[in-house]
Amino acid sequence: MLLVREDGTMTLCIPEIDTSRQNLAITLPKYAAETPARELSSSLGAPKDAALSLYWPGGVYLNIWCVPSSLSHGTREKFSGWTGGIDQGYLLEIIIEKRPLEDQAGLKGAELVLDLSRGVHWFGGAHMLRQIWPLDRAQWEVGPLYPFDHGPNGLGSIVGCHWLSSAGSIVMVDPKTPVLHFGLNSPTELTDSNPRYFGVGVQHLAQPVLPILEHGSSATEGDGKMRIQTRVDWNDKKVLHPWQTIDGPTNHVVSHDDSMGGFDGIIKPRSTDGHVVLRVGLAAKTDIRAAAWTALGSLPRPKHPPPDVLFRRSIWTTWATSHADVTQRQVVSLANAVIENGFIPGVLEIDDRWQSHYGELEFDHKKFPDPKKLVDELHNLGFLVTLWVMPFLQEGSAACEEARSHGYVVAGNEPPSIREEISIGGAGQRIGSTVKVLVDKFDWPPGHWEGGGGGGRLRAGQVRWWGTQPVWVLDLTNDMAVDWFVTRLKRLQDTMGIDGFKFDAGEPCFLPRGSETSRPLEYPGEYTQIWVNKVASRFPISEVRSGYLTTEYSGLVRMGDRDSVWGLDNGLQSLIPALLTSSVLGYHFCLPDMVGGNAYWGQYPDTELIVRWAQVSVMMPFVQWSIPPWDVSEIANALCLAAERDRQIILLPRLSELTAKASASLSPICRPLWWLDPLDEETYAIDDQFAVGDDIIIAPVVEKGARWRRLYLPVGEWFGWEREMHGNIQDDNTYFDVSDTIIGPCWITVDAPLEKLPIFIKL
């Protein structure tokens, strides 16, 4: 039931379940808030199939449809593709004329606000730099909602447009909303008066780690609200990001279709432009698992899971040890070392700087004198071979000249001057921008080839990214540009015997000032969708790191780069919250970042950190290595091997069935504990355990120095899985002591020495 009041406030609930009550409201502009709403009939402009249509003077409309009910073709078109899983609920459309908004202070757009109730937890949204589970523990500042490489409010590369509550509420927003903003429990006062900003590479060092972690047990320290907004434009002095300088459509228009047709009264919208439109789906279910199924049922599904070999063999990438200085000799050395140290040959991924120039898609023959021989040698050793690529092109390459001559790159206006770049924003942004410009200018660190692009000076259409050269961006809205890029990838694949690709970037934050694409992007996330669905999807063995309503992708979806630290701030403790967020958002083929992190900024994992990291990663759908455990210590290597064998014994026999279900119905492979018992309140806030299917609970140790841990077992009979060691760690067997079964639900404390990954299996 949805109770709607004439002041724009609403209550969503299941009448017989009082705890399901969700209070929400549309934010009325000042000129409309003082006047009660007027209910519209179809003769006065209400959509003919709407259950309720309200109007406030000044051009503010609220249309509501009930599901299930008979909807017109126009209404179905507006809500199709993102609310299909709602079998009982409501579709809301808020329409506000732009002109009065532009003359008002404050929010210039349409906003739906939900109250965060005490004791009710929220899940979903996006990957974040500080990954917090559940979301109500965070103060997520209102900001743009589209994929970022570490956005101004902490937003990451995987972004969803739905949220679930432990009370069973579901909130969905139209992912095609062009100027979409979101915030949850936003801080009422920022400790730093400087604006938030988007930065790349070394600029990250000057950025705060966001979102802010809520220290209390309730939402009292933030504003206690979920805010979903669409605005007149991207302008925001508090949050600075690239789309504030990108030309293009600024908001939805009101279409002439059945749902808005038949308007003969004076209060109807008189044209197809001049309005902001916010569309939201709402539903209330009996529990959070039912809510999750509703959300997942609204998303596109993959036709099949990734190739089985990717589940059964780990990925080894050259990044953390070689970074941009990788050579043919180093790749061969890594492959041989993997085998010599007892690991099974898997996928060997040749990362950054294998190309002669970025975007050239040809091996640098100084670093790789015989790449075909290299690939053949790796295949003979039992490895698959993949290459790192991204949608950027570097000046000085033949590919760049060809792309520019054919109009395959995004055009742009004159870039800011260096003085302007280093003068924007607060102190942190100015310092970070200065360092970034210097790094680009001098092509630092040494050992890399010449930069091109005028050093630190940008040319019209170029952008800064995490590399040390300004680059041009592939115009993915141009079908000929996409075909040109994919054709060159396939030619490289056929010529060299490459098995697949790691597709990096794809976030719409990497577009130049005043971007001019072949076809205007309707909304920022559309760029990500094209990168995933029209480029990466053309290759069966592939991975991406960005996603925006791209759950139909049948490849691996990687978490963002992790730092080699323990904490929730992009370290080991962020892995399980990111995995669980992926499961709620429908990205079940989740690839954790490399074991031990990226070794950035002089960080390097010790034995304890890399072993605990391995124990977390091996029970996720895929595993990725880069820092060699044998370089850390003999103990690290032995225990990482043991973790790999735990995966082979426990996880692999179950993966075939789980991946098939994930593909067919978006049933999660790895699940939050509340999936096993959605009414058990103890499960809602657990962020350091996860379930595999319905019968395995993984409870890794993620606290430095811990040799025991407290864990939770939901309802059922559970027994602990143990590994017995006999001399050489490779000679192991397992046993199940069924006599020590534990009846859940209950909290227990278990010993967890460094060699042990706590695993419990349901009888």
In single-letter form, the type of residue at position 630 comes to W
**90 C-beta neighbours (distance < 10 Å), count:** 22
Residue 340 main-chain phi, psi, to 5 deg: -60, -30
Longest dimension (CA), the chain: 87
Q: Are 261 and 49 in contact (CB under 8 A)?
A: no
Say whether 660 sits in a helix, a strand or coil.
helix
Helix ranges (H only) for 371-496 are: 371-380, 398-406, 418-421, 427-442, 479-496
Helix ranges (H only) for 554-651 are: 575-585, 607-617, 629-632, 634-646
209 vs 77: CA distance, rounded Å: 39
Nearest to 128 by CA among 145, 113, 111: 145
Say whether 381 sits in a helix, a strand or coil.
coil
Residues 6+ apart with CB under 8 A from 164: 122, 123, 124, 170, 171, 288, 291, 292, 295, 584
711 vs 688: CA distance, rounded Å: 9
Question: Catalytic site residues?
Answer: 504, 507, 569
741: its two tokens: 């079964």
525 vs 546: CA distance, rounded Å: 10
103 vs 110: CA distance, rounded Å: 15
Q: What is the DSSP string of 54-92?
A: EEETTTEEEEEEEESS---HHHHHHHTTTSTT-SSEEEE
Q: Are 460 and 393 in contact (CB under 8 A)?
A: no
In single-letter form, the type of residue at position 522 comes to E
In single-letter form, the type of residue at position 253 comes to V
Question: Could you tell me if residue 525 is left (phi over 0), alpha (psi between -120 and 50 degrees) or otherwise beta?
Answer: alpha
Matching residue, tokens 């996409």: 482
E strands, 83-168, where?
89-97, 109-115, 122-128, 138-144, 155-165
Q: Are 41 and 51 in contact (CB under 8 A)?
A: no
Residues 6+ apart with CB under 8 A from 513: 242, 245, 246, 412, 413, 414, 415, 416
Say whether 733 sits in a helix, a strand or coil.
strand
